Structure 1
Amino acid sequence: MIAGLDHVVVLLGDIKAGTIAYQTLFALAPAWQNTGDGAERVLFTLDNMTLELMSPSGDGATADRIRAVLAEQGEGLASICFRTADIAKMHRRLDRLALKPEPVAEVESRDAATGAILSWRRTRAATEATRGVRLFFLELAKERPLSVRTTAASVTAMDHVVISTSEPECAAALYGARLGLDMALDRSHPDWGRLMFFRCGDLIVEVVHRPGKDTDVDNRHDKLWGLSWRVANIDATRARLVSAGVDVSEVRTGRKPGTRVLTVHNGTCGIPTLLVEPAQRTAF
């Protein structure tokens, strides 16, 4: 039913600063820009999903809602949206699973630069039924244009989105049994806590339980916590970011065998961010 992760939304007070930050991080140009309905939006579309930056614009219910969320939670990850091929069937499933979906809405967006139009149909599960994480579901009429690389050593795709929970069994039931994502890993480690990996297209929804470490997570609410991005050559990407003034860690061995990773300390709008060079596949 769920074909993949369509996009994640980051709420910002200053979308111009956020756009510059992610242009630098990704070495990609925005693929879509739109203002309307109380919000300004900038989209970066990578090989397997889209990052949507959003800030309030003007007056109205949507602008007021965004400002209220920013005042309560600050800038950062706000929601995730799953892709489906049949939004009507997805809506029926969500309803049967007591996730209380909103009526399916028809949505249209016009790119400010080109005048091109995208349209889609979407619904949203009730946030109280999804443990506080805002989950949307979308059927897109046609693919978005990809972001254009601005220099070498760019980010190519998302590797995983991280959700922090204090109730791992409840989270596992939501993403696995109810939404139907394939659990690829369920492992506990004394330093990392409990890690659950759910396949979603060609990326991972990672649910993390870290007893005693996530003091801002309560028993009723999970939290969108961090993002991980793929790069083809992590040494080249690190050199590019350092030259641009971004604070990054040294490259180290990743938890997954064969991977190499680094942590990005700034320029991510406050979102914990990891870059991953995937393991090299051996040709036979």
Structure 2
Amino acid sequence: MISAIDHLVVLVSDLNEAVATYQTLFARAPAWRGGDDGSDNVLFTLDNMSLELMAPSGSGPTAERLRTLIKLQGEGIASLCFRVADVAAAHHRLERVALRPTPVAEVEGRDRTTGATLTWKRTRAATEATRGVRLFFLELGSERPHSPVTGPSPVVGLDHLVISTSAPERAAALYGARLGLDMALDRSQQDWGRLMSFHCGDLRIEVVHRPVAGSDAEHDKLWGVGWRVDDVEASRERLIAAGLTVTASRASRHADTRVVTVRSGTNRIPTLLVQRMSAPTMA
């Protein structure tokens, strides 16, 4: 049913500021500027998915709903949209596994800069059935234009998305059994908790359980991201030169990758840069 992550939606208060933030982080320009009644959006389209920055616009009910979400939950990743080849078949599967999808909608968007149009069909699972995570399923009519590179050592794609949960068995059932993603890893360690990794196209969805006091027992959270780069050291130097705070590179929990943590310039989203290595890298 699911072939890839189509896009992530990041909800922000100031769209222009967020665009500047991600143009610096990615070393890429936006590929699309659009919006509808109550919201404005900008897309950065990478090799394997898009990042949509969305901000409230105007004073209608949609804008007020978005402002309320930001006030209650803060800025951050608001939605995960999966790519499917056949949204009608996906809708049928979602009904069978009791995720109560909305009726399939046909949507058209227009780029405010170029006038280009895109069409897609989408449905959405009921959030009370997905532990509070907003999950959409989208059949895209044609591919989006890619974001032009604006500097050296750009981000090329998404490596992984991190979802935080306090109920790992329920999360495993949702993303594995009900949505049909293949589990590639299930590992627990006393110092950091439990990590489950699911294949989704050429990237991973990582579901993390860290037992902490006061965690939300009923709701999971779209928490953090790892952006893929070809040369993590070169990308790190570029971000440092731009004034961002970035850690030294290190081996990750996955033996085939090296990562750095970006500690500023991410709209407060926990963020890694990830280079996949041809062979395991020792610390």
Q: TM-score by structure 2 length?
A: 0.97
Matches within 5 A, 1:186-197: 186-197=186-197
- Distance in 1 (CA, whole Å) between partners of 2:197 and 2:111 is 35
Following superposition, the deviation at residue 258 of structure 1 comes to: 3.6
2:270 corresponds to 1:276:
no
3-state SS of 2:176 partner: helix
2:47 corresponds to 1:57:
no
Root mean square deviation, CA, Å: 1.2
Following superposition, the deviation at residue 216 of structure 1 comes to: 5.7
3-state SS of 1:247 partner: coil
2:206 corresponds to 1:222:
no
The 8 Å contact of residues 256 and 279 in structure 2, kept in 1 or not, is answered as no
Give the 3 Å change call, closer, same or farther, for CA 21–168 of structure 1 in structure 2. Answer: same
Following superposition, the deviation at residue 67 of structure 1 comes to: 1.0
Question: Quick one: which amino acid aligns to residue 278 of structure 2?
Answer: Q
- Distance in 2 (CA, whole Å) between partners of 1:263 and 1:110 is 35
2:230 corresponds to 1:253:
no
The 8 Å contact of residues 164 and 217 in structure 1, kept in 2 or not, is answered as no
| Deviation sequence 1:74-133 (CA, Å, 0-9, x none) | 111101000001101111111111111111111111111111000100011010000010
- Distance in 1 (CA, whole Å) between partners of 2:35 and 2:104 is 22
- Distance in 1 (CA, whole Å) between partners of 2:42 and 2:3 is 23
The 8 Å contact of residues 164 and 223 in structure 1, kept in 2 or not, is answered as yes
Identify the residue that residue 176 of structure 2 maps to in structure 1: 176
Identify the residue that residue 71 of structure 1 maps to in structure 2: 71
Unaligned runs of 5+ residues in structure 2 are none
Identify the residue that residue 156 of structure 1 maps to in structure 2: 156
Identify the residue that residue 99 of structure 2 maps to in structure 1: 99
3-state SS of 1:30 partner: coil
Task: Flag as ranges the 4+ runs of structure 1 deviating above 2 A.
Answer: none
Following superposition, the deviation at residue 59 of structure 1 comes to: 2.5
Q: Quick one: percent identity of the two aligned structures? A: 62
Give the 3 Å change call, closer, same or farther, for CA 49–192 of structure 1 in structure 2. Answer: same
Identify the residue that residue 229 of structure 2 maps to in structure 1: 231
3-state SS of 1:194 partner: strand
Unaligned runs of 5+ residues in structure 1 are none
- Distance in 1 (CA, whole Å) between partners of 2:85 and 2:24 is 33
3-state SS of 1:19 partner: helix
3-state SS of 2:218 partner: coil
Question: Quick one: which amino acid aligns to residue 262 of structure 2?
Answer: V
3-state SS of 2:235 partner: helix
Identify the residue that residue 13 of structure 2 maps to in structure 1: 13
- Distance in 2 (CA, whole Å) between partners of 1:258 and 1:195 is 16
Matches within 5 A, 1:112-131: 112-131=112-131
Q: Report how many aligned residue pairs link the two structures.
A: 280
Identify the residue that residue 35 of structure 2 maps to in structure 1: 35
3-state SS of 2:161 partner: strand
The 8 Å contact of residues 156 and 231 in structure 1, kept in 2 or not, is answered as yes
